[in-house]
Structure 1
Amino acid sequence: GQATAYKIGMNRILELRAHAKAELGDKFDIRAFHDVVLKDGAVPLNILEENVDAWIAETKAGN
């Protein structure tokens, strides 16, 4: 069970990273992405997606 949960989380994080790269283009910063993913610790994947989407919006706005 743990390995399956790990793999699902890993795949979702990779999907979110690809989404962020596509949305931000040259503004994408892998270090900032990692900060967003790690800042709240272990969270459900839907919350992680909300956090990444908020970061994308903030980065596009220039904040």
Structure 2
Amino acid sequence: MACSYKVGHLKMVELRERARAQLGDRFDIRAFHDPVLGNGAIPLAVLEATVDDWIAATRAAPAG
């Protein structure tokens, strides 16, 4: 159990830093939590795709 928790933790940290790097000043931790927590328990590969989609949508949205 501890191993799977740590793997998930490391993936979430990786995804958060990826989003922060790609979005810069547009990164909002509260908005980041929506795609991460909003889908419940999902496989890490699906989580990664979901976060990548969120990053792309956030980058494409008008700033403001």
Counterparts of 1:44 and 1:32, CA distance in 2? 20
Question: Which residue is equivalent to 1:9?
Answer: 8
Point out 4+ residue stretches in structure 1 off by more than 2 angstroms: none
SS of corresponding position for 2:7: helix
What CA deviation, in whole Å up to 9, does each residue of 1:4-63 have, x standing for no partner?
000000000000000000000001010011111001100000000000000000000016
SS of corresponding position for 1:42: coil
Question: Which residue is equivalent to 2:18?
Answer: 19
Calculate the TM-score normalised by the size of structure 1: 0.95
Counterparts of 1:34 and 1:60, CA distance in 2? 16
Counterparts of 1:34 and 1:6, CA distance in 2? 18
- Code of the residue aligned with 2:19 in structure 1: it is A
